[in-house]
Amino acid sequence: MPEHTFTAGLRLAVTTMTVVPLRPGRVDRATAAVAMAVTPLVGAVLGAVLGGVLAGMHALPTPPLVAGTVTVALGVLLTRGLHLDGLADTVDALGVYGSRERALEVMRRPDIGPFGVAAVVLVLLAQAASYASTGFVPVVVAVAAGRVAIGWACRRGVPAARPDGLGALVAGTLPLVVPLVFTLVLLAAAVYAVPGRPWQGPGAVAAGLVGAALLVRHAVRRFGGITGDVLGAACEVATTLTLVALAAAAR
């Protein structure tokens, strides 16, 4: 009996976005659409795990920067560094002169260039420093924001850069209403991210999603569409910008 599309899509989202060792299931455009649709939920659960660990370390108490660094390391472990790899490859490709084909070739390479290394280092430093001065709710909001950004990148009308790979499987699979609904829910949740200043949480989420959208827009112009690496880059940009804005608001 064939696996139900929603179940298969949820399984695909969990196995793609985390290290949870589920049995591989069906993979096609229909299941990929479900996977991208539920990715913000997976992100919220991941954020809750990271936020819980961070809150526990703050309560011990652990030195703030140590707590932030441990939280970043745990996040990399639980996601296999997948989105960081996408960020590095995307930045390297965007930094290359020449044709679209040359940029995509650079993106395919297994090695990381100086642009990619710099991007990963800066993102990890920014996240660690931001975690050091935030708590449970901001972490959940920021990690979920990164996954909502993936949904926006997979909306209908956004093409794939090449005919194979994850980008081709998920590009254009989501109707606009899906990322819009998750965005509205996240904006509502973000009201509680900065106590006493309810507008700053949604503002931080908006900054993160706009930053990711600008990156995706530039990537589509440069590469002709999205790839799996672009999705990872959008996730890291949205997460980092949201975290930095929330940390700044908490001061």
Instruction: Name residue 174's beta-bridge partners.
Output: 155
Percent of the chain with pLDDT over 90: 83
User: What is the residue whose two structure tokens read 């710099």?
Assistant: 118
pLDDT at 184 over 80: yes
pLDDT-based confidence at 197, cuts 50/70/90? confident
Cα angle for residues 142, 145, 151 (degrees, 5° grid): 160
Rounded to whole angstroms, how far apart are CA atoms 220 and 211?
14
User: What are the backbone angles phi and psi of residue 175, rounded to the nearest 5°?
Assistant: -65, 155
Q: What pLDDT, on a 0 to 100 scale, did the predictor assign at position 196? A: 85
* Per-residue model confidence as pLDDT tens digits over 6-25: 888 999 999 989 998 887 67
pLDDT band for position 2 (cuts 50, 70, 90): very low
Q: Where are the alpha helices (DSSP H) in 22-135?
A: 29-59, 64-79, 82-94, 100-108, 114-131
| Residue 4 pLDDT | 81
Residue-level pLDDT at 3: 58
> What's the chain's average pLDDT?
93
Could you give the CA distance from residue 100 to residue 77 in angstroms, rounded to a whole number? 32
